[in-house]
Structure 1
Amino acid sequence: MSPVWAQDAVGRVVLPGDVLLLPPPQSQDALLSLSSLPSGGRLRVVCGPGLMRQGDDLLVSKCGLLRHRDPAVYWVDSQQKRYVPVKGDHVIGIVTTKSGDIFKLDTGGSEQASLSFLAFEGATKKNRPNVKVGDLVYGQFIVANKDMEPELVCIDSSGRANGKGVIGQDGLMFKVSVGLVRKLLTPQNDIIQELMKVYPLEIVIGMNGRIWVKAKTIQQTLIVANILEACEYLTAEQRKQVFAKFSDNVL
Structure 2
Amino acid sequence: MTESLIVPGDRLDIKSENIILGPGFYVDPKTDEILPTNAGILEVSQKQNKTVYVIDSKSKTYIPKTNDFVIGIITGTFGELYKVGLSEFTQAAQMSVYAFPNASKKNRPHLKVGDVIYARVLSAERDIEVELECIDPTTGKEGGFGQLEDGYLFTVNLAYARYLLFNENAEILTELVKKCKFELAVGCNGRIWIKSETVKTTITCVKIIEESQNWSKQDIPKKLKEVWAAFN
**TM-score in terms of structure 2 length:** 0.72
Q: What is the identity, as a one-letter code, of the residue corresponding to 1:65?
A: L
Question: Separation in 1 of the partners of 2:156 and 2:176?
Answer: 17
Say if 1:250 and 1:93 are closer, same or farther in 2 by CA, change over 3 A. Answer: closer
Relative to 1, partners in 2 of residues 1:198 and 1:94: Cα closer, same or farther, differing over 3 Å? same
Task: Give the total of aligned pairs.
Answer: 189
2:42 matched to which residue of 1? 65
Alignment of 1:121-200 (within 5 A): 121-157=101-137, 158-168=139-149, 170-185=150-165, 186-200=167-181
Distance 2:228 2:91 in 1: 42
Q: C-alpha distance in 2, partners of 1:14/1:144?
A: 36
Separation (CA, whole Å) in 2 of partners of 1:90 and 1:122 = 20
Moved over 3 A (4+): 10-15, 244-251
Higher-RCO chain (CA-CA 8 Å, sequence separation at least 6): 2
- 1:209 Cα deviation (Å)? 0.3
Task: Confirm whether residue 232 of structure 1 aligns to residue 213 of structure 2.
Answer: yes
Deviation at 1:183, TM superposition (A): 2.1
Name the structure 1 match of 2:51. none
Who is 1:106 aligned against? 85
Question: What TM-score comes out, normalization by structure 1 length?
Answer: 0.67
* Structure 2 unaligned spans of 5+: 5-11, 22-39, 45-53
Please name the residue that 1:29 is paired with.
none
Amino acid at match of 1:152: L
Query: Which amino acid is 2:84 matched to?
Result: L
Matched residue of 2:164: which SS?
Answer: helix
Cα separation, 1, equivalents of 2:20 and 2:62: 20
How much does 1:115 deviate? 0.4
Identity level (%): 33
Counterpart in 2 of 1:58?
none
Question: Could you tell me which residue of structure 2 aligns to residue 86 of structure 1?
Answer: 65
Cα deviation for residue 81 of structure 1 reads: 1.9
C-alpha deviation, 1:244, in angstroms:
3.3
CA separation of 1:97/1:215 partners in 2, compared to 1, >3 Å: closer, same or farther?
same
